[in-house]
Amino acid sequence: MQVLSTLLAVEKSDKLPVYLQIANQLTSLIKAGTLAPGFRLLSTRQLAAALNVHRRTVVQAYDELLAQGWLESHTGNGTFVANHLPEVGPVPMVPSGQASDQTLKKAGFQFERLVHLNRPVLKSGTRLHLDDGFPDPRLAPLEELSRAYRSQLLHGNPYMRLGYGDTKGASWLRQELAIHLNETRGLKISADNILIVRGVIMGMHLASTALLRPGDRVAVDSPGWFGANMNFVQAGAEVINLPVDEHGLIIDELEKLCEKEPIRMLYVTSHHHYPTTVALRADRRIRLLKLSEKYGFVIFEDDYDYDFHYLSKPLLPLAGADQAGMVLYCGSFTKTISPAFRIGYLIGPEDFISQLALLRRIIDRQGDQMLENAMAELLQTGVIQRHLRKSVRVYKQRRDFFCDLLKTKLEGKVNFHIPDGGMSVWTKFDDHIDLKKLAANALKHDLYMADGSLTQLADGSRNSVRLGFASSTLEELEESVNIIKDLL
């Protein structure tokens, strides 16, 4: 029986109470078959002496396991491993913690590793960044948002405020969003046309789940957003790439495709094409809507950074000219405030939005009602609108400065067009430059930039990346470009 004390070890400096350490270790020994049913344990006095702990600590551990049914006590005879437990063959002894480490690292069951999900996760981990086109959170109205959020936590009926809400999203936010989107994007929607989601990717996942079946065809522009394609492949759809030129998606190619085979959905970033930033020309927009109505395919319009346009007024979304109810329009506050604030919106016909609200319940009952209502307050009081006007001025200055840096410091190494809007510059590096090596070396200098691996052109060529300018100050942009210049 003295062997038992050698199998147990306690760490008095550990945050877990000692009695629970003892109880957990005894449970593990029983599960492993090391302590068989009917095994007699040391007395509380003996085990306490062996472990150099107070007897009451061992009594607590035994009482815990007696209550859970792992042990049983025979008055006057001692404490035993419960006889009703199934017999488990003893397993080879391994150093403490090693077995549990292995089971945490490698599953004991088989599962399929889905190749289409292999996409690097972007994280904010460097001091300098020419990112995918993110906003600068230093400009965000965080104080106003903080006050509005605190107000939502403290005021009003707590049962309603902190309870379950509408799966479509906070009613107040949907009402304010309808007003805002109608005024800024020429839409004619009501709150019933809006589903609040965590971001564009969630809206796309819901739409793909609801609309796509294995074998359906989804047309996407190429180069395009890998994150969108992941959802379509996950739904079992066949993804068909369509080329893009300086005026956006080539509609003639789409029409040829529709004449040959049916498609279920078209994914398009019409305002600032991802990744090249070009806008879909007006005549192509008209043809696209007519083709959708004629051939019956859904248009998923991802308008990820509509508010940031620097040349005259931005083109209005396809959704505003949709006369047949074929367009789903999706956007978010990710580019308005910061990626950390997960509020997006999916716009569509009322009946379909109601169906998506039912679907949303099985993956995410509702969003953050406090944050949604706080955002509604900022929309109602004009804080968001003022922030957008300020951000557009700042980002335009940064765009101009950054493009001038690329032209003067990287002359002959890069080719680009100054974007009319958005938060990044689609930049083609000289074919002799190894982008993966450049990105890896930049990272050693605390500068993040993409390596081009996720942006391949329809003709198979690459060496182009999005270089985000909005999230960096003028000084940070100059330092970043100087690092690239030195590395080249």
The CATH number linked to 362 is 3.40.640.10
**Residues 340 and 456 both lie in one domain:** no
What pLDDT score was predicted for residue 479?
95
Q: Domain boundary residue among 348, 370, 385?
A: 385
CATH classification of the domain holding 73: 1.10.10.10
| Residue 474 lies in domain | 128-133+386-487
**Residues 164 and 282 both lie in one domain:** yes
Residue with tokens 């003996």: 46
**Residues 392 and 478 both lie in one domain:** yes
In a domain, 156, yes or no: yes
**Residues 339 and 400 both lie in one domain:** no
Contacts of residue 470, defined as CB under 8 A and 6 or more positions apart, other chains included, come to 133, 134, 135, 136, 308, 391, 395, 398, 399, 423, 424
**Residues 296 and 276 both lie in one domain:** yes
Quote the CA–CA distance of 433 and 451 in Å, as a whole number: 11
What pLDDT score was predicted for residue 84?
84
What pLDDT score was predicted for residue 455?
66
**Residues 443 and 379 both lie in one domain:** no
**Residues 202 and 274 both lie in one domain:** yes
In a domain, 94, yes or no: no
In a domain, 122, yes or no: no
In a domain, 380, yes or no: yes
**Residues 395 and 353 both lie in one domain:** no
Angle, alpha carbons 237-320-254 (nearest 5°): 40
What pTM was computed for the model?
0.79
**Residues 162 and 200 both lie in one domain:** yes
Q: Domain boundary residue among 336, 361, 385?
A: 385
**Residues 365 and 450 both lie in one domain:** no
Number of CB atoms found within 10 A of residue 298's CB: 20
What pLDDT score was predicted for residue 95?
56
**Residues 205 and 326 both lie in one domain:** yes
Domain total of the chain: 3
In a domain, 298, yes or no: yes
Mean pLDDT by 10 residues, the chain (488 residues): 73 88 90 87 89 91 91 87 76 55 76 76 79 89 88 78 81 94 92 93 93 95 85 92 91 94 94 88 93 95 86 83 92 82 92 93 82 91 92 94 95 91 91 91 92 63 86 95 93
In a domain, 95, yes or no: no
In a domain, 100, yes or no: no
Quote the CA–CA distance of 469 and 473 in Å, as a whole number: 8
**Residues 398 and 451 both lie in one domain:** yes
Q: Domain boundary residue among 385, 420, 443?
A: 385
3-state secondary structure 59-87: HHHHHHHHHHCCEEEECCCEEEECCCCCC
What pLDDT score was predicted for residue 241?
93
